Amino acid sequence: MVKKHLLNQTLKLKDEKGFTLTELLAVLVILGVLAGLVSIAVSKIPQSSKNVRLSADKITISTAVDSFFNLSSPRRYPIIRLDATNSDLLPKTKNDTSKDFGVRLLNFDANLNKNSSQSFVPDFLKQIPPSSNSVSWRIDIQRGILFFASEGSPLIPPSNSRFNISILTTNKSEKISSYEFDLKTNQNEAALTEIKITIPKGYILDTKKIDTNTLIGKLDGIILENNPWKPGTSIQFTGELKTTSVENKWILKIDYPDLMNTKINENLFTQKDKIHNVVLIPPSDKSPGEIKLTLDRAGEQTNYNLSDEKWTLKIFGENDKINIIQNPKTPNLYRWVVKGKTTIDPEEIMNIIPGQQSIIIK
């Protein structure tokens, strides 16, 4: 009886199949892919956590700044005096080495007055937040705006640029459209160095089949009256967006008037023609794309804008050989997110430029 039972168990084991080598390798490949995805997600956690911490710190410090200002008599902000600031932080021009924009570093050791032991940092914030180690906390005392910037960057106000995106096709149900990108920058604010435009998924934007040096967009710009070249008179300029020999890499060439390229006297800044680099990551039905514009700042004498300036860049919807911008097949609300990096931004920290960034296509 025992022998018969053991024989039956042996026969059952022979009928059961194990993993083949192919199946085992397939499982290992799947595990490797999953591990790679997890490692990518985990690698982004430190930067994401840093941004969250900075945002939380900004609220906490703003509350303390407001409290100090309201309790002080006469009212003042807890700041470090300009004459006690490192001169390397002051904006520099050829004729002015100490231009004051009203930006100051926060003084975490400031006291309300000589007779008070209450300091700028209240009980709930006795120590500077760890996130402040890599950034410089500042305040625009003219507007009362608290912001942070890269450690050691000039004491200039943050950028308050506006970037609007609009569709030019009158019939929004059409498959092909041209798009207009409007940018406005302000005088005496941190200059933009990079602009990233996220293209919603579902669009088709491609120039791979277009020949090199083909015109795919035009720019019209205006420098307003508060400029150093011809004060009291606005200056118009143009630009062309063209393809290059590299796939999905374009150049935006800005052509400034001759009066800006000729040095008339010592007080007049020159503005040479610029060539900005544009890189496209095409969107798809499943993932968004990106237009990255890296601004040419070679030869610039300041880290801030010399005047108010407006750009209107039109990217053509179609070409003789290809439809450059094809709208999504499904009518919906599509959000174009714009981020701008400036001369004072902390590394890898981007501030969203406010403005109309949604387009409804029906």
176, part of any domain:
yes
Retrieve residue 320's tokens: 């003789």
Q: What is the pLDDT of residues 286-332, one digit of tens each?
A: 899 999 999 999 988 889 999 999 999 999 998 888 888 888 888 77
Q: Are residues 109 and 179 in the same domain?
A: no
Q: Which of 104-108, 121-125, 171-175, 269-273 has the lowest mean pLDDT?
A: 121-125
Q: What is the pLDDT of residues 117-140, one digit of tens each?
A: 666 665 545 556 667 667 889 999
Count of domains forming the chain:
2
Query: Quick one: 336 and 293 in the same domain?
Result: yes
Contact between 131 and 57 under an 8 Å Cβ cutoff? The reply is: yes
| pLDDT value of residue 2 | 45
Window from 11-25, 74-88, 109-123, 277-291 with minimum mean pLDDT: 11-25
**Whole-number Å distance between alpha carbons of 227 and 254:** 17
Looking at the structure, do residues 179 and 308 belong to the same domain, yes or no?
Answer: yes
Asked if the structure places residue 16 within a domain, the reply is no
Of the pLDDT bands very low, low, confident and very high (cuts 50, 70, 90), residue 281 is very high
Inter-residue contact 45 to 53 (CB < 8 Å): no
Q: Is residue 5 part of a domain?
A: no
Are 114 and 239 in the same domain?
no
CB distance 197 to 313 below 8 Å: no
Looking at the domain assignment, is residue 3 inside a domain?
A: no
Same domain, 349 and 200: yes
More confident residue, 148 or 22: 148
Comparing 72-81, 95-104, 195-204, 246-255, which segment has the lowest mean pLDDT?
Answer: 95-104
Mean pLDDT, residues 211-222: 96
Query: With bands split at pLDDT 50, 70 and 90, how would you rate the model's confidence at 186?
Result: very high
Same domain, 117 and 178: no
Stretch 217-234: mean pLDDT, rounded?
95
Is 156 or 58 the better-scoring residue by pLDDT?
156
Residues 54 and 197 in one domain: no
Closest CA to 198 of 350, 361, 42, 46: 350
One domain for residues 266 and 303: yes
Residue 222: what pLDDT?
98
User: Do 85 and 27 touch, CB atoms closer than 8 A?
Assistant: no
> What pLDDT was estimated at residue 272?
87
Which CATH number belongs to the domain containing residue 338 in this structure? 2.60.40
> What is the share, in percent, of the chain residues with pLDDT greater than 90?
37
Last residue of a domain, one of 150, 174, 199: 150
Provide the domain limits for residue 53: 47-150
CA distance 292 to 186: 21
275 pLDDT band (50/70/90 cuts)? very high
What is the pLDDT at residue 35? 62
Q: Are 322 and 248 in contact (CB under 8 A)?
A: no
Mean pLDDT, rounded, for 28-55 = 61
Verify that 171 and 220 share a domain, yes or no.
Answer: yes
Choose the final residue of a domain: 150, 175, 194.
150
Comparing 99 with 77, the larger pLDDT belongs to: 77
Q: Which of 150, 179, 197 is the last residue of a domain?
A: 150
Looking at the fold, whether 248 and 295 belong to one and the same domain comes out as yes
Same domain, 135 and 271: no
**Long-range contacts made by residues 275-280, C-beta under 8 angstroms, separation at least 24?**
275/251, 276/251, 276/252, 277/249, 277/250, 277/251, 277/252, 278/241, 278/249, 278/250, 278/251, 278/252, 279/248, 279/249, 279/250, 280/205, 280/206, 280/207, 280/248, 280/249, 280/250
Give the percent of the chain with pLDDT over 70.
Answer: 73
Is residue 305 within 8 A of residue 193, CB to CB? The reply is no
Which helix (H) or strand (E) covers residue 28, if one does? helix 21-43
pLDDT given for residue 82 in this prediction: 87
- More confident position, 249 or 172: 249
In a domain, residue 114? The reply is yes
Per-residue pLDDT, 151: 86
pLDDT of residue 188: 93
The answer to whether the beta carbons of residues 191 and 224 sit under 8 Å apart is no
Residues 209 and 66 in one domain: no
pLDDT (0 to 100) of residue 224: 97
Q: Which residues pair with 243 in a beta bridge?
A: 250
pTM above 0.85, yes or no: no
Strand 215-223, strand 235-243: pairing: antiparallel
